[in-house]
């Protein structure tokens, strides 16, 4: 049975990453933006914060949803998520970021978001055909 969803959400753990990269807010922002572009996503904005002397947290807002990250350089660890809608493949972002962070190992889970059957079930009106980008009225 194929489930129809509005989006795909990948939660990722990156292990044994390059600690210098993980503590560099400029590099992390560049790498996250590169990862979004690798999936052919449309970047709307990005915001990153450096928790001196430690890690970096940030988000890349894309027209198709978002990519986020938090790093713990002291542990060589980063947690990231890639939430995309439409035809954007979040695994393209995941793969490039894994390479850029020089992660030796990663673990990931994909979660379907916006199951259309549930959206219709709980709706208080007839929604018609549900797509990630409704046609203009």
Query: What residues are annotated to the active site?
Result: 65, 70, 85
Contact 15, 76 (CB under 8 A): yes
For 27-48, give one letter per residue: b (16+ CB within 10 A) or e. bbbebbbebbbbbebeeeebeb
Query: Which residue has tokens 């795909």?
Result: 8
DSSP state of 123: -
Q: What is the largest CA-CA distance in the chain?
A: 53
Contact 132, 87 (CB under 8 A): no
Residues written for the chain: 137
């Amino acid at each position: 049975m194929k489930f129809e969803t509005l989006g795909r959400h990948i939660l990722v753990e990156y292990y044994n990453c390059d600690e210098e990269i993980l503590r560099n807010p400029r590099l992390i922002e560049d790498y996250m933006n590169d990862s979004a572009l690798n999936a052919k996503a449309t970047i709307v904005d990005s915001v990153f914060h450096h928790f001196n002397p430690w890690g970096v947290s940030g988000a890349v807002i894309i027209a198709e949803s978002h990519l986020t990250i938090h790093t713990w350089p002291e542990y060589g660890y980063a947690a990231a998520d890639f939430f995309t809608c439409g035809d954007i493949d979040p695994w393209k972002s995941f793969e490039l970021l894994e390479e850029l962070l020089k992660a030796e190992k990663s673990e990931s889970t994909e979660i379907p978001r916006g199951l259309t059957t549930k959206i219709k079930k709980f709706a208080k009106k007839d929604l018609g055909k549900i797509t990630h980008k409704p046609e203009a009225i």
